[in-house]
Amino acid sequence: MIKKDFSILIGGKAGEGSRKAGLVIAKLFTELGYKIFIYDDYQSLIRGGHNFSHIRAADKKILSHREKLDFLLGLNKDVIEKHKNKLDKNGIIIQNSEAKKAVEEVGGKSMMENTALIAIFAKNIGIEWKLLEKVLKEEFKKFQKLNLRVAQRAFDKAEILIKVKKLNKKGFPLMTGNEALALGAVKAGLDLYLAYPMTPATGILHYLAENKDRFKVVVSQLENEVGIVNAAVGAVYAGKRTMIGTSGGGFALMTEGFSLAAQNESPLVIIESQRMSPGSGVPTYQAQGDLLFVLGAGHGDIIKFVIAPGDAEESCFWGGKILNLSWKYQTPSILLIDKEVSESTFSFDENILKKINREQPFLWNKKGRYLRYKNTKNGISPLAFPGDKNAIFKSNSYEHDEFGLTIEDKEGVKKMQDKRLRKFKEMEKEVDKLESVKVYGNKKSKKAIICWGSTKGPVKEVVEKLGLKMIQPIILQPFPAKKIKQVLKGVKKIVLAETSALGQMEKLLNSHGIKVDKKILKYDARPFLPEEIEKKLSKF
């Protein structure tokens, strides 16, 4: 039987280029027609420490790395010692000594040891020099000739140990969840992105800033999260489709501004990418502990969309859709992702972009007196923007009348709250029309696993192997309880899988009358592996 699922780990100190090397290895497999998933594990350090990339390449779509390694590549001895216990019985270790020699022999720089190690690995798995050269030329623009000399020397001295089969399949481009999300938002008409750097959402800021001219998006880093959310509300007031990004600590500072956006019905979109623990926590590692915080964020009776995609393609689609939904219903919204979705690298099917367009909101018809908060049947008021000489546009953080003037009388207060509640009813109807819940595996199984966000990847792999059902709610507010209950018909036992200590999704499910029989929780700041979930389910 020909092997079509490979697991490779390459690691070293921060600054040694293991992440770049991992991406190059992934692109080599992409050229051979494989689907890719890369998990990057790195400490909150600029230099030193222990970083590694875990690359998985398979003949079918994969959304998780696995426990056992086929190849272990170390830019230092520490990597080998830390990970050799994960090596499969037929696994191969590639140490850095030969890479160092190749660099020294051609007068290369020490930073090029990752290039040499890639070349040795490529030869070991039977990749031709012509293909390796092509990928290296695309990836190494700086010191390109010297890098190629280093790679050629290392490649020539290495041996072919196995031959990885070339698949008769198209290789997809590689994208992180952050990059895919940004692409979806751009396709839906993103005008402005504001952020203060906060892992794991920072990649969105970098990607959009690097491509701002190509995407025709204004990108700005402000002084702090309070300034960002208020500037964003102002930009939305001016009619610009605006998105801001942060993690839990940053979003905590934004919640007052978020309430302001709810009161003045601003279609502001916030990306909240979760990381481990309260406070500063473990900044570069995985968790799903912000769910209840996000659902309840903001003071007062707030109406909002909360959407939680589970991979790069979902991040792309919902990154665009949430912009359109926010503008359609004139409500602030939250795209809730996590480190595993944000920073992992996926084979990305660009066809998803065809499903995203800029949708027009409900605009004022320029007839009669303009009322920013007009009390309509469905609660959605017509939009106009400053600069329209026929409209006086008043935005208010206090409760207000239809024009926007502050009120305190009980009839007026109730009238405007009822207006916003009617809008929420319309949002619930919208959720019923959308693919707010996905089902995988054996749809007739009497055992089901509910998961959300990045836990989709390992759970999906396990249920397809064991013949169980998996249910993935994507829209979490308004909650698609009716749909979930429909797909749970006939199910006798329900398991929840989540990377949190409290199993926060259980509380959300319970509030809608859905009882969980067992929880599989992980809270060591690392994502689930399929093997871990399979082992837990064997006792269920």
pLDDT per residue over 248-277, tens digit each?
Answer: 999 999 999 999 999 999 999 999 999 999
The whole-model pTM stands at 0.96
pLDDT for residue 46: 81
Rounded Cα–Cα distance for residues 508 and 469 (Å): 20
Rounded Cα–Cα distance for residues 420 and 331 (Å): 9
Tokens of 320: 């665009």
Which H helix or E strand runs over 243?
strand 242-246
List pLDDT tens digits, range 157-192: 999 999 999 999 989 999 999 999 999 999 999 999
Q: Are 63 and 311 in contact (CB under 8 A)?
A: yes
Task: Tell me if the domain spanning 437-537 has CATH number 3.40.50.920.
Answer: yes
135-156 average pLDDT score:
94
Tokens of 6: 């490979």
List pLDDT tens digits, range 339-354: 999 999 999 999 999 9
For CATH 3.40.50.920, list the domain ranges present in the chain. Answer: 437-537
pLDDT for residue 386: 92
pLDDT for residue 45: 85
pLDDT for residue 189: 98
Q: What burial class does residue 444 get, using C-beta atoms within 10 Å of its C-beta: 0-12 exposed, 13-18 middle, 19+ buried?
A: exposed
Which residue blocks in 348-472 are alpha helix, DSSP H? 410-433, 456-466
* Banded pLDDT at 449 (limits 50, 70, 90): very high
For 175-355, CATH gives 3.40.50.970
List pLDDT tens digits, range 469-489: 999 999 999 999 999 999 999
* Banded pLDDT at 48 (limits 50, 70, 90): confident
Class of domain 5-157: alpha beta
Q: Which of 56, 73, 76, 77 is nearest to 65 (CA)?
A: 56
For CATH 3.40.50.970, list the domain ranges present in the chain. Answer: 175-355
Say whether 333 sits in a helix, a strand or coil: strand
Rounded Cα–Cα distance for residues 473 and 452 (Å): 6
370-382 average pLDDT score:
97
403-430 average pLDDT score:
97
pLDDT for residue 322: 98
pLDDT above 80 (res 238): yes
Give the mean pLDDT of the chain: 96
pLDDT for residue 252: 97
State which amino acid sits at residue 29. Answer: F
pLDDT above 80 (res 539): no
Rounded Cα–Cα distance for residues 240 and 235 (Å): 6
For CATH 3.40.920.10, list the domain ranges present in the chain. Answer: 5-157
Q: Is 194 left (phi over 0), alpha (psi -120 to 50) or beta?
A: beta
pLDDT for residue 1: 63
Which H helix or E strand runs over 10?
strand 5-14
Tokens of 172: 């997809």
Which residue blocks in 14-76 are alpha helix, DSSP H? 18-31
332-343 average pLDDT score:
98
Q: Which of 25, 522, 12 is nearest to 285 (CA)?
A: 522
List pLDDT tens digits, range 275-324: 999 999 999 999 999 999 999 999 999 999 999 999 999 999 999 999 99
